[in-house]
Structure 1
C-alpha cells in the first residue's frame, strides 16, 4: 500500500489540498488568521496552500490535527466529500466538538457506502406518512398523530413490565426485528454505533439524503425508543430538516425538535391514557407510581415530563420516579468501536467490484 507521500506524488496534490482546505475553513467558519493563532502555523504557509504551493509535511499534519481529521484526508479526492454539504448547512454546528464532527463525517461516509450498494427508495408507506405529517396545526395534533402511530405499530401491547425480565439477547432481537420492519415498510435504515470516545455526546442522527438513522449505544430500552421515534418524526417531516438532524436527548436545538420530542413521548406514553390511569391510583404512593411507570416503555425523564404536562410537578413524586430501580443494564445493539456489519459488507462489496481502492477500503473500515 502506498504511503501518503508516495500517493501525493501521483496526484495533483496541491489542487486537491487547496480544495479540501477551503471546504474545511468554510464548514468550520474559520479563516487563516484564526488557524494561525491556534496552531502557530505562519499565515504565509497557509496562504501558500491557498495558492496551491507545497509546504512542509508537518504543516499538513498540524492542519489535520486542528480539524480533527487524518492527514491523508487532506490528500483525498473523496473522503471529505460530505463536509461542506453537511456542516455548512447545519445551523447548530457550533455545539459540536471536533471529535463529534469527525465521527459524524465517518457516519455519513458509512451511510454513503451503504447506499451505493442499497440505493434509497421512498416506499409508498413513507410517502403516506410524509403526507399525513406534512401539516402540523398544533401540539395537540402531534399528540393525536403520535397516538395513532402507537396503535398502528401495536406499541400499546408493550410495557416495561413485560420486557424488563427478558434476556438481553431477546431484547436486542426485538429491536432488530422492529428496525427490519421499518426498513422494509419505510426504506429507512437504522444503524447502532457504540463509540467509546466520551467526547461524542449526541445520541442519534438522521441523514435525510441517505434515509439513514444512527443511534448511539448503550442506552436503556425506553431511551432507545425515544431516540428512534424522535428521528422517525424528522423522517416524516423531511422537508423541515436542514442538512441533517442531531438528537441530544430532550434538549431542543432545532425548531422541529420540540415537535419530535412531543411525538416520541406521545408514542411512548399517550397523555390521555396516562391521565385516565393517574385518576385510578394514589399518586402520592411511590409503589403506585412505579407500577404505573412500568405500564409504559419510556425513560424516567419522559415519564416525569408527561406527568408535568398533567400538572403533576411535586418534588416528592419526582423523587419517587428517580428512585425506581431499573432491571437490567443499558443495552447495546452495536458492538463497541466496531463498524456495523451491513456497512462493512457494503464496503467489501464496493472493493470487490473495483469501485474503491484498498487504501480507501481500509480508511472506511477504521472506526
Structure 2
C-alpha cells in the first residue's frame, strides 16, 4: 500500500513530506486510515538521534488514532469502519512469560516499536503515525470507546499509559497520597488519572506560578520544592511520587517526602540523574523505581477508564506542516501539555 507521511532524512534535517510503502495485509493485520497522531517528546529525541540508534529516514509517531479500512482474513476483533488506536508498540514475541502476562512492553525478545524498529518478519524498519495509513498486527490494535474525543485520544496511548501503569502497579486508590513532579505532557495526565482513581494529589514544583494550573487540572495541593520549610512539613507525606521530569535532575530532595516503604517512580528521564544520596532510602525503606508504558490489556483498560471518567489530555491540534515549529516549541517547553496532528491536513499532492 502506497502512503505518505513526514520523515526526517538525518538528525539535522527538518521533517518533510515522504512517500513510502506500507506492507500488504498479513492474515492477522488491520489496516487503518490515521485521523490523528499525538506528538511525544520521544519523537523529537529519536529524530535528533539523542538516544542513538535512529535509522533514517524516520517517520515518528506512536499516539495514533484511526479508522479501520481493511482487515486480514484471520482478524476477528475489528471490522471496517471501527475507530481504533495504536500506541508505542506494534508487535512482540507473544510467547514469553511477559507477553503471556499482558506485559508486552517487557517482551523477553524485545518489543517491536511503532517506529524505528525492525519488523519481526520482514526486518524492514517500522514507520510511525506521522502518516496517512498504518498496517498493524491485530493484537496491538486498541478499541476506542464511544464518547472519547478522537482528536484528544492519542496522548492517552503514551503519556496516559506511562503514568497510569505505575499508578496501578502501586495500587493507587481512595486514600492514596500521590505526588507528581513535572507538569508537562506526562505530568498533567498523572494528575488527572491519580485524581480519577481517588487519590489525594499534590504537584511538586519549583515554580509557585504553576499552582493555578495544577489546581485547574484537579490537584488537591501544590508543594513548592524550593521552600525548605514547606518541604520539611511535607516529610513522610507520600505513598507514591510519579517523577515525569524529562531531563537530568536531582531526586534527593524528594526522598524525605516519601513515607516508609513508599516509592518514587521515574517515567520521564531516560538517562543519567544526579548522584543518589542513600540514607533517606535506607532509613525509610524507600524505593526508587521506573516504569515503561504498559501492556496492551492495561492500555485498553485505561482507554475504557478515561471514557467512563471523562478524562482527556489537554491538547493543541496542529496541521502536519506545522510539525517542525511544534518540535521547536517543545524544546522550549512552549506547549499546552500536548500537540496532536490532524492528519486531514496532510496534503497528498505535496508528498509526491
Q: Using structure 1 for the length normalisation, give the TM-score.
A: 0.27
| Structure (1 or 2) with the larger CA radius of gyration | 1
Higher strand share: 2
Higher helix share: 1
Q: Using structure 2 for the length normalisation, give the TM-score.
A: 0.28
